[in-house]
Structure 1
Amino acid sequence: MQLNFRPLNKSWHANADHTRLKQVIINLLTNAIKYNRQHGAIIVECSQVSDERIRINIKDTGNGLSPEKLSQLFQPFNRLGQEDGAEEGAGIGLVVTKQLVELMGGAIGVTSTVGVGSEFWIELNQDVTPTLVAKESLSTDLIPQVSGEEGICSLLYVEDNPANLMLVQQIIDDQPNVRMLSARDGHQGILLAQTERPNVILMDINLPGISGIEALAILKNDPKTAHIPVLAISANAMPRDIEKGLEVGFLRYLTKPIKISEFIEALDFALENSKLSGGK
């Protein structure tokens, strides 16, 4: 796979949230890689479409999308023919991406030709005079406080989406007393939980192989891991999905896109639960 970044004018600056924009770019690049052809190419370029707007284009050489699929691309829970597959599909990730872009006052679009490839673009407001903004810090009240050796606790995140893994890792990097382990599927997650005994597990529901719900059942039936609190996270955000997740034994059910304050509060609650249940 060949990834090309075209030269850009370094005087251009977009008015955007750093973390959200990073997730948007990672989501679009992940799709461009996932749905590209073997030995394909990806071109990333930035342009100024007006005095007020900056556009970022990500073009791939994949199979492309038909007009019918293009019209369904940003619909929630539409998996574009991948309903029976293990992967979440482009639709869910793009719904999240669209929400993030619009939260930043931007817009997103796509053009595609079957047999040639697709070109996704996002437009953001231009920041004429860039200013240095201090990195957003989380309230000290929300930072998990744990006891034990060196005050360090561990979070195991079971997730197959690289964009979500990177986002949570970035959040955890701001927590000096938490370290993160990761697994890309349910089987690997179970093995890591059995060997590493993390304080808390964050489990995606839609995993390749076995689902997060199936993995939870195995963990709860194993004396070595039954005490570990498990948080669910999923793009399945309907009330019945959340209710079902809590019924099967998840301590909390978080929905994507990840809300930082909600995630930290749930992690703090799970760590307290871990101490009460005898976790180290």
Structure 2
Amino acid sequence: MQDTGMGLRPEQLASLFQPFNRLGQEAGAQEGTGIGLVVTRRLVELMKGSIDVSSSPGVGSVFSIELGIAAPQGSAAGPHLPAPPAAPAHADAAPHLLLYVEDNPANLRLVEEIVRFRSDLRLLAAADGPRGLALARTQHPEIILMDLNLPGMSGAEVLAELRRDPATHDIPVIALTASAMASDIERGLAAGFFRYLTKPIDIDKFNEAIDGTLAHLRTAKGVAT
């Protein structure tokens, strides 16, 4: 696909696929949050493909998508029906409930887009600490994603309350925050966060953290039974 827009400088190309980075157009007339290309690239990668871009300032940009070649559906021995896609593990089970406590709509939208591609997850959201705590107690999510800088209560305060309540004590809580200093991560893990993810969100690390936490829960359940 080719356009005849403003084009991009080399330093802008290097940041093109960063979540929420609108390359200096935040105050422009064109609306957006800066996550469309991030989600598009991830979708292409899930289909074993790749997306590339070349651009020249004042000329425009060229986006190209390359997908893997599907295996042939027939042979000299006769036609064959295409093999059905492999079912994900636990595909017959209800989706795992994921609670995200986040007051930034753009961050919430990105996580919603990530979860939309995962049929094994269902997302529930709260915009502040007290509501997140209330939903955790009434909905019993399997995993909680927690921003740290929240209105009403900080993420660390919500975590402490969750740990005091026997009904929520064992729910793994993953920090998802812009506080990315090594000392911040050390304090977060010491406070009891199961994992500590930093913003901008890395989609692969996000999915790895969710999958690892679900695997931990399955193992813990197996030990308990």
Deviation at 1:232, TM superposition (A): 0.6
Match of 1:232 among 151, 164, 175: 175
Residue of structure 2 equivalent to 1:165: 108
Matching of residue 154 in structure 1 with residue 97 in structure 2: yes
Specify whether residues 17 and 227 from structure 1 end up closer, same or farther in structure 2 by C-alpha distance, changes over 3 A only. farther
Residue of structure 1 equivalent to 2:158: 215
Task: Supply the distance in 2 between the matched residues of 1:128 and 1:148 (Cα, whole angstroms).
Answer: 40
Task: Supply the distance in 2 between the matched residues of 1:278 and 1:146 (Cα, whole angstroms).
Answer: 16
Alignment-mate amino acid for residue 21 of structure 2: V
Residue of structure 2 equivalent to 1:44: 29
SS in 2 for 1:195: helix
Residue of structure 2 equivalent to 1:86: none
Q: How does 1:178-257 map to 2 (within 5 A)?
A: 178-257=121-200
What per-residue deviation string (whole Å, max 9, x for no partner) do you get for residues 180-232 of structure 1? 11111111111111111111001011111110000001111111111110001
Ranges in structure 1 where 5+ consecutive residues have no aligned partner: 1-9, 33-42, 46-55, 59-96, 101-123, 135-144
Root mean square deviation, CA, Å = 3.6
Q: How does 1:109-148 map to 2 (within 5 A)?
A: 125-126=55-56, 127-132=60-65, 147=90
Deviation at 1:254, TM superposition (A): 0.8
Residue of structure 1 equivalent to 2:5: 12
Task: Supply the distance in 2 between the matched residues of 1:14 and 1:198 (Cα, whole angstroms).
Answer: 45
Higher relative contact order (CA 8 A, sep 6+): 1
Structure index of larger Rg: 2
Aligned residues: 174
Specify whether residues 193 and 252 from structure 1 end up closer, same or farther in structure 2 by C-alpha distance, changes over 3 A only. same
**TM-score (structure 2 length as normaliser):** 0.65
SS in 2 for 1:169: helix
Match of 1:24 among 21, 25, 29: 21
Q: Tell me, yes or no, if the aligned pair for 1:186 and 1:215 is still in contact at 8 Å.
A: yes
Q: Tell me, yes or no, if the aligned pair for 2:18 and 2:200 is still in contact at 8 Å.
A: no
Task: Supply the distance in 2 between the matched residues of 1:152 and 1:231 (Cα, whole angstroms).
Answer: 18
What per-residue deviation string (whole Å, max 9, x for no partner) do you get for residues 18-67 of structure 1? 99466234x975xx6xxxxxxxxxx515xxxxxxxxxx9x9xxxxxxxxx
**TM-score (structure 1 length as normaliser):** 0.53
Kindly, what percent of the aligned residue pairs are identical?
40
Q: Tell me, yes or no, if the aligned pair for 2:101 and 2:132 is still in contact at 8 Å.
A: yes
